[in-house]
């Protein structure tokens, strides 16, 4: 018989709370989601995922400065987190810094080239950075990956 380690109840509960908070944010209850994620961050200061989720929620809550801090912390903690680079790039686009957004989103694509959404976000950044050929190439990649997922 293979013995499976028993999950720590606190960790399991925190994972459930994080999933719930992210669902709240996605459905529009950003304020409650930010409140839950902030509490989780205080308990899990070493969790890159919590910092990323909080950064994404704060960006939606128009708190760009704090969002940037959380996303940069997530990236320092987990430099392989393509989703954190994507969120940072989208924040940079919203702030009007297309050059920084291109760098962040190119890195995200490098980490997870199979994710169609990253190519879409990079195409938008290229367009805003006045790089139409690169934008067209990334949009084609986005469409190819999106079409491949259809049944």
Q: Annotate 47-94 with three-state secondary structure.
A: CHHHHHHHHHHHHHCCCHHHHHHHHHHHHHHCCCCHHHHHHHHHHHHH
Per-residue pLDDT tens, the chain, 151 aa: give them. 444 444 455 577 888 888 999 999 999 999 999 999 999 888 888 889 999 999 999 999 999 999 999 999 999 999 999 999 999 999 999 999 999 999 999 999 999 999 999 999 999 999 999 999 999 999 999 999 998 766 5
Contact 81, 52 (CB under 8 A): yes
**Nearest-10 Cα torsion for 38, 31, 73, 131:** 170
Instruction: State the pLDDT at residue 85.
Output: 98
Contact 142, 110 (CB under 8 A): no
- Select from 6, 80, 3 the least CA-distant residue to 48: 80
Q: In whole angstroms, what is the distance from residue 63 CA to residue 142 CA?
A: 29
């Amino acid at each position: 018989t293979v013995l499976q380690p028993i999950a720590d109840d606190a960790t399991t509960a925190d994972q459930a709370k994080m999933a719930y908070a992210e669902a709240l944010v996605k459905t529009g209850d950003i304020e409650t989601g930010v409140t839950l994620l902030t509490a989780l961050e205080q308990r899990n200061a070493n969790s890159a995922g919590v910092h990323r989720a909080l950064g994404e929620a704060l960006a939606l809550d128009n708190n760009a400065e704090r969002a940037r801090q959380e996303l940069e912390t997530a990236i320092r903690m987990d430099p392989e987190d393509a989703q954190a680079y994507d969120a940072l790039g989208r924040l940079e686009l919203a702030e009007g810094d297309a050059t920084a957004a291109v760098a962040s989103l190119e890195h995200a694509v490098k980490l997870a080239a199979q994710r169609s959404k990253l190519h879409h976000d990079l195409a938008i950044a290229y367009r805003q950075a006045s790089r139409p050929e690169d934008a067209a190439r990334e949009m084609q990649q986005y469409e190819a990956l999106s079409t491949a997922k259809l049944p």
